[in-house]
Structure 1
Amino acid sequence: MRVFDTHTDIWYDVSLKKEKGNNDVLRTYHLPRLKSSGVCGINAAVWTNPRIQDPMNRFFQMLGARSEQITLMNHEDFVFAHKIDQIDKALEDEKIAVISSIEGLIGIGKNIDFIITLYELGFRIMSLSWNEVNDLATGCGCDDNSRGLADLGKEAIKIMEKLGVVFDVSHLSEKSFWDAMKIVQKPVIATHSNAFSLCPVPRNLKDEQIKAIADCGGLIGISALPQIVDREHPTVEKVVDHIDYVARLVGVEHICLGFDFSDYLVTDPSLKNTIAKNKEATEGLEDVTKVPVLINSLKKRGFSEKDIEKISWLNFLNFLHNGVLN
């Protein structure tokens, strides 16, 4: 079964390992793991940790590491796609399609015109904030429920939609989410979010949010991130619970898979406390090599082959085909 992962921090991993002298990370580390699990495509995010002293500098380091991988490395097994026909061709040729995204635009500060530059560099999915408050939006880690989108964030969304950049609503605070949904003109995606009703944490989506995403023709990417699967005992079966819940609420046509695996990020000292706090990975779905376990669990739960195909990759491909990605 093909699988398209709608959220992975591989570009972040590439930059970390580059600092340690490994310049061929995609081919030597990630390619064998992706192929063994049936992954046909990934949405690879550039994520800037807002906790570091100079996020803008870090952001540009990551852009450089990504550019090096694309332009200087020999990656015949990957297709770095920024058009839908490139993704189609990659799937036809049994290569791995790589879409590039920005997870939180803290790195651009107030310079929203830089979104155009990022588009020209090939980025096709963007979110405004991670968990933090920045110049554009309020992330889900903020305790101030009165703060939502900044005016610059609203302008940023307009720029994205004009360019043909997919707007990702994962990590937004609830107020930022609803502020955004009032102005969006195109379908949106939550690349890696689960159901709040099953795991009530700020990172997850409440039922009305899930319905709003579905109503605009969007997608919810169910995640394997343990702290948003279950607060006590995250397991692959509980990931299936989230899929089943959203399917019953809005239909399987609005579900994709955005795993957000973090097993390869343990080398980042700035994440040490976070990873230690969440050291228990989702049991049975610890990393990308365990993706076939999820597919089998969906079959055992009674999902049809056709529905599993939709969830695992076809919904996301159709989403991109339906005029969202140029």
Structure 2
Amino acid sequence: MTHLPDRSVFDGHNDLLLNLWLHHDDDPANAFFSRVSPGHLDYPRMRRGGFFGGLFAVFIPPVSYIARMRNQTDDEVLDYFDPLAIVERQIDIMRILERSSEGRLKICRTASDIERCRLNGRIAAVLHIEGAGAIDAQLAQLEKFYQLGVRSIGPFWNTPNAFGEGVNGAFPGTPDTGPGLTAAGESLIHACNERRLMIDLSHMNEKAFWDTARLSNAPLVATHSNAHALCPQPRNLTDAQLEAIAHSGGLVGVNFGTAFLRADGKRDGAGTDLSTIINHIAYLIAKLGEDRVAFGSDFDGVNVPDALEDVEGLPRLVQALSDAGFSDSLLEKLTWRNWLRVLAETWGE
């Protein structure tokens, strides 16, 4: 019997929950299981695109961004802006999706959960906190979030919090944009290691990255970052950082955002074709090895190439990789096996 390659995709980062909270908070399940607009993701398009799961970010956006998206003033947003409440609501939205899914979606806490979803045709959803601004310096909320199913935390987005500062420089620039981890940040790294929560490096500045590399006993993972050598975006990873990730047995999820792909840093969907994604994947494989590169789309959070458009474009990307000479076995690693490996190693189950 001829072996048919598995074209399923497990993706390292998306902002669906933010999108649902901003635009469909009154009935997120109805939107998700029919059509989410605007946006890159919903259940029907996931199924057509071969997307069977990923890390779903829980993110506290800036007040000005909420105001723009909801056609409100900053003062109107400030009347209800509560970082902890926003995080809890986005987690609740995921729980609503699971309850409403009739078995079509599951919040996964182990790599075995994800594998069962893949085999059974379910969406495997991993809760990921992007920016730990809702957690205080004493980490009082961390255990609650863990019990709710959170299995991955990125301590930073672009702005400072109790744990340090995210990378926040302008293009072109380096990741060296601020100080390293605070004492609370070091405690957060240790606490994540103790609970076997994955730590996301993607929004860390360079000093915080190296602090984490020194302190953490887990594989180093950047869920949605690219190669700085190809695109000098401060959020992208230098060769030295890639070497540290490789040495740890970690992983980089390739970001599909045009600003993180293009050498000129432009947010230009029309002028960016799939070869830019392929170039970053090939470069990262050369630096990390084929077991340490995967997808980290940043769907619903970035401007993606028009040639991809949304989650339905994933088969086009996989076909383009195949046409570029990527073998079926390598494609399976890139599209899901590498993520399952690093999650199993990090979580221990």
Fold conserved (TM > 0.5)?
yes
Contact 1:15 1:66 in 2 (8 A): no
Q: Where does residue 181 of structure 1 map in the other structure?
A: 213
Structure 2 counterpart of 1:258, from 275, 285, 296: 296
Superposed, which structure 2 residues align to 1:153-302 within 5 Å? 153-230=185-262, 231-232=265-266, 233-262=271-300, 281-302=304-325
- Specify the SS of the correspondent of 1:28: coil
Q: Normalized per residue, which structure has more helix?
A: 1
Q: Aligned to 1:112, which of 128, 134, 139?
A: 139
Please give the secondary structure, in 2, of the residue aligned with 1:98: strand
Residue 46, structure 1, aligned to residue 46, structure 2: no
Counterparts of 1:79 and 1:58, CA distance in 2: 21
When residues 325 and 225 of structure 1 are mapped into structure 2, their CA distance, relative to the original with a 3 A threshold, is farther
Of 2, 8, 11 in structure 1, the residue corresponding to residue 17 of structure 2 is: 11
1:303 pairs with 304, 323, 326, which one? 326
Paired residue type of 2:139:
I
The offset of 1:142, in angstroms, is: 5.4
Distance 1:12 1:145 in 2: 26
Contact 1:42 1:99 in 2 (8 A): yes
**What is the TM-score of this pair, normalised by structure 1?**
0.89
Matched-pair identity in % = 29
1:85-104 equivalences in 2 (<5 Å): 85-104=112-131
Which ranges of structure 1 fall in alignment gaps of 5 or more residues? Answer: 266-274
> Whole-Å Cα distance in 2 between the matches of residues 36 and 119 of structure 1?
31
1: CA distance, partners of 2:178 / 2:200: 21
Q: Which amino acid aligns with 2:328?
A: E
1:141 and 1:323 map into 2 onto residues whose CA distance is: 28
Q: Which residue of 1 aligns with 2:151?
A: 124
SS in 1 for 2:33: helix
The runs of at least 4 aligned residues of structure 1 exceeding 6 Å deviation read: none
Note the C-alpha offset of 1:324.
3.0
Tell me the secondary structure at the aligned position of residue 19 of structure 1: coil
2:11 aligned partner, one-letter code: D
Change (3 A) 1:74 1:235: same
Distance 2:140 2:338 in 1: 31
RMSD over aligned CA atoms reads: 2.0
The letter of the residue matching 1:121 is L
Aligned to 1:272: none
Q: TM-score normalised to the size of structure 2?
A: 0.83
Match of 2:97 in 1: 69
Deviation string 1:96-122 (CA, Å, 9 cap, x unpaired) is 211111111112243413111111000
Deviations 1:106-162 (A, max 9, x none): 122434131111110001011100111111121111588341111111101111111
**Any idea what SS the aligned residue of 1:4 has?**
strand
Q: Which residue in 2 is equivalent to 1:140?
A: 167
1:127, 1:38 → 2: CA distance?
26
Q: Deviations along 1:175-218, whole A, 9 cap, x unmatched?
A: 11111111010112111000000000111001111111111010
CA distance in 1, matches of 2:28, 2:151: 26
Distance in structure 1 (CA, Å) of the matches to 2:32 and 2:220: 28
Unaligned segments of structure 2, at least 5 residues: 1-6, 36-41, 65-77, 171-175
Moved more, 129-138 or 53-62: 53-62
Residue 323 of structure 1: how far off its partner (Å): 4.7
Aligned residue for 1:252, secondary structure, equals coil
CA deviation after TM superposition for structure 1 residue 21, in Å: 4.2
Judged with a 3 Å threshold, the aligned counterparts in structure 2 of structure 1 residues 249 and 304 are, in CA distance, closer, same or farther, namely same
**Structure 2 CA distance for partners of 1:2 and 1:64, relative to 1, 3 Å:** closer
Q: Which residue of 1 aligns with 2:75?
A: none
CA contact under 8 A between 1:7 and 1:44: conserved in structure 2? yes
Residue 67 of structure 2 is matched in structure 1 by none
Distance 2:16 2:102 in 1: 15
SS in 2 for 1:107: coil
Deviations 1:37-57 (A, max 9, x none): 111212111111134543334
Q: CA deviation at 1:59?
A: 2.5
In structure 2, the CA distance between the partners of 1:162 and 1:22, relative to structure 1 (3 Å rule), is closer
Structure 1 residue 68 displacement after superposition: 2.9
Task: Judge conservation of contact 2:10–2:51 (CA < 8 Å) in 1.
Answer: yes
Look up the SS of the partner of 2:86 in the other structure: helix
- One-letter amino acid of the structure 2 residue matched with residue 60 of structure 1: E
